[in-house]
Structure 1
């Protein structure tokens, strides 16, 4: 870091090549949060939430940093002086906070996850405490009260904490925890979307998209406001964090953001009409579910009429709890059904292995992993999977 004087004013700058373009923050994947919810429900312990005040001011930087005095708050005795050691606004601030927090937890006998670096686990005999980091938000669950008391005491002794309570709201996700189950939804966020796009009084529909409707670029169609369409698609994409039922149609509408037409906006608004009648739909995680990992994959060979590319989708369940899913048009054109199946099954297996390793970090070894796959042709009806087509890893 350094500083220079320009026209009598002291300015600060970051040296190019040193933490200049890349920014790192301890952000967990949403699959990890859902996996943690399902795991906690199966193990029978509640999750709690705490927040760190002025999180980036807790980081320690190795360089000397100077910033100019804010306009209107200059020191009249030293108007040309600069302040030293400020972290907010620097690209390396999130990384320095993560290093400070991880070093603190590791010094207290916590183990860091091997795949995802944001969870920390501490085991004592048969007891365990799980700590999940998301920038300044800390989610933790425990099976032993003493471990919880030690963790809370240590965190309050090292950092200034602003809140602590039962885990019920996180990044727009609403979580309801009981002894029998956990329910995850985004009803408040859903209502906010309807209000934002003036659709709160619309008539509800029973499906997010018509089965015989086909979307295309439609070069001759009427162009709509690109900013409004992109804002709508972006809002709906985040809603898929707890709504896999709209995943396919939202991803389909997202392909036409460069030049949206009235037909595309009409389909996107139908999704809002569907949400109007399904505001409180979400994910349900039962506590009595068997502990085994199941992965499903499906593919539509040459389903896109524009470029003949295939669409693949996967979903993964821990027992009866849906924790991961995706729907994507493949980047390359599959020349055969066998090639298509290899691509989608490989993607499904990669996600299964990631989830399996994540569960091992939690202290749960999954001995039974099942994968089901199904392939559809664009001109044929899908066929149910027979037991002979079921594969086990």
Structure 2
């Protein structure tokens, strides 16, 4: 882009995405500080007390049929503003995604949860993602799920984050479209979503002249890993939709491998459920979200 448009990379990112890009000796720092501050002021929470995480561990949102309804336009405006902020703030992806499920009929409990996210943004408005120059071009992914985490329909939430070297380049937090009967099934389905993203990244890097070897996806569930390696476990897997079983073909073809990682090192945990302050801040730092000042 620099050669084509005679503009710096920082300038192009600012122009197209509204991101603030700081180039330093050790890397690039991408943030939306001005947008975050404007967002907090827009919804009148600039004087509110900041919090250390966007969603408390005791928070279990549901449809709240007996709750008091709130202004849908205001609620949707808050959600839309926060969704745009996730371009540089993966640490709020899960909490914003959960609150976005209730836009059809928001209640006071949902509005309170959204305001907590904005209070968190208020205290971390200068945070963004850092991309270091000291890295390689090998890709790796982390996959995790929160089994039956949704109170309303008991569906699980899939989370994943993807790195080129030690730099976070993609992430997702999404409710699964079916009910899982076990943690192994939920983790296996989450791994399937992770595989499709990894294959796309591999093909894209190949097109750019950076061929990849065997892909590594890190999972903390040994049962899901065993299912990917052993097609004989029929009693455990016969109820799982066949479209997820392409993982086995990829493993057999030596294209990728599910590798075990201890739960305390599972970075995708940040995208599946609310976490306590210490755990949240530790994972936030590990994925490369930090202060840009």
TM-score between the two structures when normalised by the length of structure 1: 0.54
Distance 1:180 1:279 in 2: 22
Structure 2 partner of 1:370: 216
Q: Which one of 2, 6, 10 corresponds to residue 167 of structure 1?
A: 10
Aligned residue runs from structure 1 range 8-47, under 5 A: none
Q: Which one of 51, 54, 58 corresponds to residue 205 of structure 1?
A: 51
Quote how far apart the aligned CAs of 1:234 are: 0.8
Distance 2:94 2:221 in 1: 16
Distance 2:140 2:8 in 1: 33
Distance 2:144 2:60 in 1: 20
Q: 1:340 to 1:166 in 2, by over 3 A?
A: closer
The higher relative CO (CA closer than 8 Å, separation ≥ 6) is in 2
Greater strand content: 1
What secondary structure does 1:256 align onto? coil
- Alpha-carbon RMSD across the aligned residues, in angstroms, is 2.2
Quote how far apart the aligned CAs of 1:338 are: 3.5
Distance 1:385 1:370 in 2: 17
Q: Residue by residue, what CA displacement relative to the aligned partner does 1:336-369 show, whole Å, maximum 9, x if unpaired?
A: 3343233111110110111111111221112353
Q: Which one of 28, 36, 58 corresponds to residue 190 of structure 1?
A: 36
Q: Which one of 192, 203, 219 corresponds to residue 357 of structure 1?
A: 203
Distance 1:237 1:339 in 2: 29
What secondary structure does 1:317 align onto? strand
Structure 1 partner of 2:97: 251
Distance 1:288 1:225 in 2: 48
Matched, 1:282 2:125: no
What secondary structure does 1:167 align onto? helix
Matched, 1:314 2:149: no
Distance 2:25 2:139 in 1: 22
Quote how far apart the aligned CAs of 1:385 are: 4.4
Indicate the structure (1 or 2) with the bigger Cα radius of gyration.
1
Quote how far apart the aligned CAs of 1:167 are: 2.3
User: Any conservation in 1 of the 2:27–2:133 contact (CA below 8 Å)?
Assistant: yes
Q: 1:166 to 1:298 in 2, by over 3 A?
A: closer
Q: Residue by residue, what CA displacement relative to the aligned partner does 1:165-204 show, whole Å, maximum 9, x if unpaired?
A: 4523132211122343011111111112112111222221
Q: Which one of 243, 262, 268 corresponds to residue 384 of structure 1?
A: 262
Q: Give the unaligned 5+ runs of structure 2.
A: 223-260, 266-293
Quote how far apart the aligned CAs of 1:309 are: 0.8
Distance 1:166 1:258 in 2: 39
Q: Which one of 64, 67, 79 corresponds to residue 233 of structure 1?
A: 79
Distance 1:262 1:371 in 2: 39
Distance 1:227 1:346 in 2: 36
Q: Which one of 176, 193, 196 corresponds to residue 347 of structure 1?
A: 193
Quote how far apart the aligned CAs of 1:386 are: 9.6
Structure 2 partner of 1:305: 151
Structure 2 partner of 1:220: 66
Q: Which one of 114, 135, 140 corresponds to residue 294 of structure 1?
A: 140
Distance 1:386 1:267 in 2: 26
User: Any conservation in 2 of the 1:301–1:375 contact (CA below 8 Å)?
Assistant: no
